[in-house]
Amino acid sequence: MLLVFGPLVNGGIQTLIVRIANHLANIGQPVGVCCGDGPLVELLDRRVDLLLWTDARQVPALGASWLRQQTDGSVLVSFDPISAALGLAIEARLPRHWPATHISGVYHQRAFFMTGERADRIILNRLVARAVGLPRLFFQNAETRRGHRRLFGAAIEDSVIIPLGVTERDPRWVNRGSVDLTIVSVGRLVDFKAYNVGAPAIVRAALDAGRPIRWDIYGTGPLTGAIQREIQRHSVQSHVRLLGDLPYAAFDSTVGQYDLFVGCGTAALEAAMLGVPVIGVTDSSLEGSYGFLDELPFGNTGELQEHPPPYTIGALIEHFRNASLAERQAISHRTRAAALPYEMGEIVNSLERLANAAGGASPYWRKRLVAQLYRAATLSWPVRFARKVRASLTPSLPVG
């Protein structure tokens, strides 16, 4: 199996790639990771073939060369529109009818039409999806699949759902039973994770009611300034802390020390595996929640459902604060039980089953044409030159 992506920096998909690759290496299957450099690269098992690129234009040759060396048919897996286009470019480098199956994951309700994305890129992303072949797309949950139905203009109700996968580990959460709550959130500070911006107001309300609380936020991203402003506006500088990126290797030892985890995605599942009670958040909502992790539909770790969130994060925090020791332990057990079906072995098996059963392959000419269009629109020298000029003319803005 060949996994294709961009730089392996901290992020849910990036850590998922590390877990898939290491799982395959541990069971003796050939696996390659074609990616840009990043701190997660060093966590790859030494048995994983690392195809490291410094320029995305190197990807087609690197990927095709690795696939040619495999004696049996291989699976090529991409994880977003950009890596899907790179996967098409790899396919275009292989001989026609080469026995390699490209499948591609969709891990966000708007993955192919993210907020702020230009109309021409959305059209290009749609072409990429159709060139991969809609039956070869898999979605992390029903909400993500439903979110793309109109964009693709096709019936995808039967498309396979393969959720995020995490490695099973022993619980390490300690049931302190204290009213002085410690909360942690981990993840990129991007627009759809607006709960981070809402955290200072929730903490302020608790403090004003005489309920001690501390909320630590690990991550970096575009929302940093907005969160800092909210921290200052609510005067909670000593109670809400922005602590930067949390190294993936330190996740368990750090997160396991907190009373509660508030968040979504991979980090929420990994916290739950540790036994840490997890309050789910809602895409782009400051305070909406569908409940603790065990109350969410399988595969959904934060996506907006067809009905509005019935809870607020603040109310769930106070529910936990007022719970007895036994009730808190029960929440921990339920949260962890909800995470266990996301174990890596079943996720990898699901990927292989999809690849073996996948139909709907696009013609070779379409893959080649769309790969060339994507390269022209994103990696050609005029585009790269324009990008450099734009960057040089954009003044650096202070954070905060």
Token pair 């808190």 in the structure block, residue: 328
Q: Please report, for the chain, the start and end positions of each structural domain, with discontinuous segments joined by +.
A: 2-165+346-393, 181-342
Contact 198, 283 (CB under 8 A): no
pLDDT per position as a tens digit, 245-279: 999 999 999 999 999 999 999 999 999 999 999 99
Give the whole-angstrom CA distance, residue 229 versus residue 223.
10
All residue ranges of the chain with pLDDT < 70 are 381-400
Q: How far is CA 290 from the centre of its chain?
A: 19
Residue 396's pLDDT is 46
What's the predicted TM-score (pTM) here?
0.87
Side-chain half-sphere CA neighbours of 94 within 13 A = 27
C-alpha separations of 85 from 100, 117, 161, 193, 206 in Å: 16, 16, 21, 26, 47
The class that CATH gives domain 2-165+346-393 is: alpha beta
Residue 399's pLDDT is 38
Residue 393's pLDDT is 65
Q: Which class for 133: exposed (0-12), middle (13-18), buried (19 or more C-beta within 10 A)?
A: buried
Residue 386's pLDDT is 59
Q: Which class for 100: exposed (0-12), middle (13-18), buried (19 or more C-beta within 10 A)?
A: buried
Side-chain half-sphere CA neighbours of 225 within 13 A = 5
The domain covering 181-342 belongs, at the CATH homologous superfamily level, to Glycogen Phosphorylase B; (3.40.50.2000)
